[in-house]
Amino acid sequence: MANTSRPVRRTALLASAAALLGLVGACGSESSTSTAPRPTQAPRTTTVDPGAATGAATTPAATAAPSDTAGSASASARTDGRCRTGELRAEVGRVDPGAGQRNFPIVLTNTSDRTCTVRGYPGAAFVDASGGQLGPDPVRAPSSPGTVTLAPGKSAWAGLSFSSPQISGARTATPAALLVTPPDEHDPIRVAWTAGEVPVGGDESSVKVTALEPGTGP
């Protein structure tokens, strides 16, 4: 009996030792698996198209070809519109007597660097040295006014006429100046008057003015 139980115990001890070793090995294997570093996945790179993100075109913007529109508009602005007082010079031409009348051309000359227009009748008034008006405003003579285009340096004229005072017997005065106002303007141009007395009252005292036309006089 003693000899029989010893081998059995020995066998049992060996089996227990083998089982223990297997358990230790299993634990070591699990620990190794759980702590081993996992492969690192490279971050995903996303390429963003700035054009697509903002809605803008990715091709270079086209450059508009130069246009003549602006230049044409500028030229048109310079060639359109009436002449202003500050752009004109006024003169009274030489007297043209005839049939008891005294006739003078009132000449307006474009002194600006642009083309402008005048149309209709100029204003006219005789004044004394202090600026007081002598006589009534001139009467407009019947005519058909037209637009006169004045390039720089060009002129238009209107006729100023009245009956000779020596013949008409009208009351007279000697003006210091004639105030000439371009059509549709408010500021007059002062022109020295050197042609002597003019009618300012009484019979046949009317002074007449005609519409502007191209040139400097008859």
What are the tens digits of pLDDT across the range 129-161?
999 999 999 999 998 899 999 999 999 999 999
Tell me what the pLDDT averaged over the chain comes to: 76
Is 9 contained in some domain? no
Residue with structure tokens 């006024």? 90
Q: Which pLDDT value is given to residue 98?
A: 81
With a pLDDT cut of 70, the percent of the chain lying above it is: 63
What 3-state class would DSSP assign to 69? helix
Is 165 contained in some domain? yes
Give yes or no for a contact between 123 and 178, defined as CB atoms under 8 angstroms apart.
no
Is 68 contained in some domain? no
Is 4 contained in some domain? no
Distant-in-sequence, close-in-space partners of 217: CB < 8 Å, separation ≥ 6: 93, 96, 105, 107, 157
Domain count, the chain: 1
- Note down the domain range covering 208: 87-214
Is 141 contained in some domain? yes
d(CA 18, CA 12): 10
Give yes or no for a contact between 134 and 172, defined as CB atoms under 8 angstroms apart.
no
Give which of 35, 196, 37 is closest to 104, Cα–Cα. 196
Residues, the chain, total? 218
Is 125 contained in some domain? yes
- pLDDT classification of 29: cutoffs 50, 70, 90: very low
**CATH code, domain with 210:** 2.60.40
Is 109 contained in some domain? yes
